[in-house]
């Protein structure tokens, strides 16, 4: 399938798809080939008097996340992520949803203010989409910004169901007025696959214990634990993952994100994980965060690293002013080695992708109220260096990508950011305001 896009200057053109992110002009779509994110096409189901604007089909599909590495997951339209659905704020939309599985399903429109009968939450009264059945959904999208859709079935202990599956897709609701301070868009969906139960973690959970205990929170936690024990719920397991992807492709597989020097690229980033907090950095570049969870921030702030909890979204503009070939990926070496990254390649540049000159820091919502970033350097084994407001001067290791595909950790570098410190910062972000 070929999509066509119209740029700001009115030219029509096509382009190759990219696993690391597919690129859009602000008012259109650049072409896709075999890569996961595609636009769902309007269709006219048999017997319907009017055509749906979009059609989604819930089905179990094989998805190739790397050459000869194929996983079987429940998807939307046989792909991961699900099709990008691009709506206009305040303009009614019709979506036909077919459920080709044996299980009744819920499709939830995350972040939208719409009636409960179409919201996609059974606990709020939304009817299920019957197994091997269909439901037509009609609603008026709002508010504007980056939203997403996903299953609202609970997984429980079934690691093939719910948010562990591939039932995640981005939604962008175009505002009535678009300032257009960027040249094009890139949508990225971060997601882990091949989940398994495991015991124990690789991070001390008391690493960033608050100096002052909150008694009410402790009591709530203890009460919840006692209630769980009384029910006989099994304890002591965590969920680990075997593969990590951006837009359904592991680092090093698929086409890179190709950019040109001087471009202003608006990244729309969604953490589609069931359980994981994710970081994302692009060496030599900074992110001007313009929206959190689809909602514009009062004062955009420049930050070197993005942190996203489960289901969180960030929209951020990056000025492409540092030519080279770079890895945009997670700060955690292990997660990046298992696929959580993609390649950003400037026009006319080649060679080994790099992952360096990046700072790890903790970020609170205060930064966007004040229009500035308070970031703290995470020094090797020095927990005192996690103080908020300290000057960013961290540095990640280069990646010998072509020769070995593994990082060489420069532990003699005083700016080396240790894995423990990065994980601590991740935990800190999860507890932010």
The encoded tokens of residue 127 equal 């009817």
Which pLDDT belongs to residue 178?
76
Which pLDDT belongs to residue 93?
98
Residue 116, domain member (yes or no): yes
Residues 297 and 423 in one domain: yes
Residue 401, domain member (yes or no): yes
Residues 174 and 245 in one domain: no
Residue 187, domain member (yes or no): no
Which pLDDT belongs to residue 212?
80
Residue 344, domain member (yes or no): yes
Residues 253 and 355 in one domain: yes
The encoded tokens of residue 191 equal 């997601």
Residues 45 and 131 in one domain: yes
Which pLDDT belongs to residue 353?
78
- Among 131, 154, 178, where does a domain finish? 178
Residue 12, domain member (yes or no): no
Which pLDDT belongs to residue 201?
56
Q: Facing residues of 279 across strands?
A: 307
What is d(CA 183, CA 180) in angstroms, rounded to the nearest whole number? 8
DSSP helix/strand/coil, 345 = strand
- Among 141, 156, 178, where does a domain finish? 178
Residue 165, domain member (yes or no): yes
Q: What is the DSSP string of 115-180?
A: -HHHH--GGGTPPPB-TTEEEEEEE---S-EEEEEEE----TT-TTSGGGSS-EEEEEEE-SS---
What is d(CA 45, CA 24) in angstroms, rounded to the nearest whole number? 28
Q: Say if CB 86 and CB 39 are below 8 A apart.
A: yes
Burial class (CB in 10 A: 0-12, 13-18, 19+), 47: exposed
Residues 244 and 357 in one domain: yes
Q: What CATH number is attached to the domain comprising 370?
A: 2.60.40.420
Q: How many domains, the chain? A: 2
Residues 146 and 290 in one domain: no
- Among 178, 199, 221, where does a domain finish? 178
Residues 109 and 258 in one domain: no
Which pLDDT belongs to residue 324?
93
Any residues with CB less than 8 A from the CB of 379 and at least 6 apart, and which? 385, 394, 414, 415, 418, 421
Where are any strands of DSSP class E within 247-340? 257-259, 264-271, 278-281, 287-292, 295-303, 305-308, 313-319, 325-329
Domain enclosing residue 254, as ranges: 240-430
Which pLDDT belongs to residue 58?
98
Residues 144 and 287 in one domain: no
Which pLDDT belongs to residue 200?
63
Which pLDDT belongs to residue 352?
73
Residue 195, domain member (yes or no): no
Residues 141 and 59 in one domain: yes
Q: Say if CB 182 and CB 26 are below 8 A apart.
A: yes
Residues 279 and 420 in one domain: yes
Average pLDDT for consecutive 10-residue bins of the chain (433 residues)? 36 36 36 37 52 97 96 98 97 98 97 96 95 98 97 94 97 88 96 89 53 85 88 82 97 92 98 96 95 95 95 97 95 93 92 59 47 39 29 28 31 35 38 36
Which pLDDT belongs to residue 202?
53
Residue 18, domain member (yes or no): no
Residues 268 and 346 in one domain: yes
Residues 84 and 155 in one domain: yes
Q: Say if CB 87 and CB 93 are below 8 A apart.
A: yes
């Amino acid at each position: 399938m070929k999509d066509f896009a119209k740029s700001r200057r009115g030219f029509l053109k096509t382009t190759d798809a990219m696993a690391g992110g597919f690129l859009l002009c602000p008012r259109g779509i650049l072409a896709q080939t075999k890569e996961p994110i595609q636009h769902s096409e309007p269709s006219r189901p048999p017997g319907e008097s009017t055509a749906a604007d979009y059609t989604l089909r819930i089905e179990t599909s094989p998805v190739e996340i790397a050459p000869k590495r194929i996983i079987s997951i429940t998807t939307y339209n046989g792909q991961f992520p699900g099709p990008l659905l691009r709506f206009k704020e305040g303009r009614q939309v019709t979506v036909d949803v077919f459920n080709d599985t044996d299980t009744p399903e819920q499709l939830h429109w995350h972040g939208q203010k719409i009636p409960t009968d179409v919201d996609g939450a059974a606990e709020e009264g939304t009817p299920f989409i019957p197994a091997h059945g269909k439901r037509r959904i009609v609603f008026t999208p709002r508010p504007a910004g980056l939203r997403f859709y996903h299953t609202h079935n609970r997984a429980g202990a079934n690691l093939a169901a719910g948010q562990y599956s591939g039932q995640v897709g981005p939604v962008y609701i175009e505002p009535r007025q678009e300032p257009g301070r960027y040249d094009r868009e890139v949508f990225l969906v971060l997601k882990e696959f091949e989940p398994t139960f495991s015991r124990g973690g690789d991070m001390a959970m008391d690493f960033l214990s608050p100096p002052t205990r909150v008694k009410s929170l402790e009591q709530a936690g203890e009460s919840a634990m006692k209630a769980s024990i009384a029910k006989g719920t099994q304890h002591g397991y965590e969920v680990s993952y075997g593969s990590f992807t951006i837009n359904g492709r592991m680092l090093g597989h698929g086409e890179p994100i190709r950019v040109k020097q001087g471009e202003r690229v608006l990244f729309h980033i969604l953490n589609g994980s069931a359980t994981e907090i994710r970081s994302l950095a692009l060496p030599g570049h900074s992110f001007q965060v313009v929206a959190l969870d689809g909602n514009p921030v009062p004062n955009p702030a420049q930050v070197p690293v993005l942190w996203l909890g489960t289901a969180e979204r960030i929209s951020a503009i990056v000025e492409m002013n540092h030519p080279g070939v770079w890895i945009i990926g997670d700060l955690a070496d292990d997660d990046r080695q298992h696929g959580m990254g993609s390649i950003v390649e400037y026009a006319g540049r080649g060679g080994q992708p790099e992952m360096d000159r990046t700072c790890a820091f903790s970020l609170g919502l205060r930064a966007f109220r004040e229009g500035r970033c308070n970031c703290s350097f995470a020094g090797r084994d020095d927990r005192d260096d996690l103080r908020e407001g300290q000057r960013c001067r961290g540095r990640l290791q280069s990646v010998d990508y072509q020769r070995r595909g593994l990082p060489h950790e420069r532990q003699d570098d005083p700016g080396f950011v240790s894995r423990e410190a990065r994980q601590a910062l991740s935990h800190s972000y999860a507890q932010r305001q």
